[in-house]
Structure 1
Amino acid sequence: MLKKYISIICLFVIFSACDKLDELTKFDMEYSQRATIPSTTGINLPFDVFTPEMETNSESTFAVNDTRKDLIEEIRLTKLELVMISPDGADFSFLNSIEVYISADGFEEIRIASLDEVPEDAGSVIALDTSDTDLKEYIKSDEFSLRLNTVTDELMSTDHELEVNSTFFVDAKILGL
């Protein structure tokens, strides 16, 4: 009977250690890009804003987190936030809706975040709803870019510069298993 309890305790300790090891292979990757929404001549018409290509530096980030590209199980976008940079005092109330798409060399462009109705009282920071798509191939690429598809509901006389902050959750295999 004592051997049975010791076996159960040993199994519990082993599984607990595996869970703790698994947590060591999970981490976030954060990126920040700038984009400019140009002054408009009309409202309620969709138009695209492109960010410059962003180097992922994924291999070095993976190495810092003791993993490699071939050990990545999944990468998911957990947060996408837009921050108004200029003009001073501007907010996002001019937006009606926004969608964000990701693209990388050799992969089809896909939607990763959106906000169907931007509130009238939107401040200078808005969080978008993120998709639950596995983006590992995009982030493992050397570079990716974002396209913002926006619809405004008021005229803008000046360009609006914003920062696009994204957080990706990375889950890698434990010790290559």
Structure 2
Amino acid sequence: MDYFLIRIFNKNLHIMKKTLLSFFIVFAMLTSCDVIDELTKFDLDYQTNYSIAPTILIDTPFSLDTPDITTDSESSFENNNTHKDLIESIKLKTIKMTIESPEDGNFNFLKEIYVYINADGLEETEIANTVIHDNTNSNVIELDVLGQELKAYLKEDNFNLRIKTITDETISETHNIVVDTKFRVDAKILGV
């Protein structure tokens, strides 16, 4: 009888070992897929400037185009071991605006701001915006990202941002603003 119980116990132990081993193998494979997937993602950072001239009107929308932004995408993709044909997705991750001058400048004069992207042969698309409810006396503002697919724009040699603003205060001097953008790229890595 003891021999029979030991044999059943050993058989159950063997089955449990196989089940646990299978579980750990599946877990390791799933975890490594997530790790590999993260290795195929990287950020592209771009910076541009624009100026807002003194204003005398409020609640009137006006638009400004930034200078063309050179993507240098081929080299950026190569530095991340990929190629533009292997790009699966590019989306805006963050966009931040900073008043460079005047030194004491702030965004209190803005009521709404909208940012659009365009490139040769592509339709203009809104990529970020924000409505400012309170004056914060801040010279930095982060916009709400809309999450569109922007692969076609960033694969071009150049793209351009159009900034549309509505003010709720006048400003007496030109405000020079730096726009920092961070795009998240998801690509297939060469050899993976």
User: What TM-score do you get using the length of structure 1 for normalisation?
Assistant: 0.92
Aligned 8 A contact 1:96 1:152 in 2: yes
Listed one character per residue, the Cα deviations across residues 33-63 of structure 1 (whole Å, up to 9, x for unaligned) are 0000111131110001110000011111111
Q: Could you tell me how far apart the structure 2 residues matched to 1:154 and 1:4 are? A: 69
| Residue of structure 1 equivalent to 2:24 | 9
Distance apart, 1:118 and its partner CA:
5.0
Cα deviation per residue 1:58-101 (whole Å; 9 max; x = unaligned)?
Answer: 11111111111111111111111110001121101011111000
Query: Hey, what does 1:109 align to over in structure 2?
Result: 124
Unaligned runs of 5+ in 2: 1-14
Please identify which structure carries the higher helix content: 2
Number of residue pairs the alignment of both structures matches:
177
Residue 162 (structure 1) shift: 0.3
In 2, are the aligned partners of 1:112 and 1:130 still within 8 Å (CA)?
yes
Q: Give the match's secondary structure for 2:123.
A: strand
SS at 2:124's partner residue? strand
Match of 1:137? 152
| Pairwise CA distance, 1:21 | 1.3
Shift of 1:174: 5.0
Change (3 A) 1:6 1:174: farther
| TM-score between the two structures when normalised by the length of structure 2 | 0.86
Q: Residue 60 of structure 2 contacts residue 167 of structure 2 at CA under 8 Å; is this kept in 1?
A: yes
What is the aligned-residue identity percentage? 44
Aligned to 1:156: 171
Superposition map of 1:19-168 within 5 A: 19-168=34-183
* Bigger share in strand: 1
Q: Residues 168, 133 of structure 1: CA spacing in aligned structure 2 closer, same or farther, 3 A cutoff?
A: same
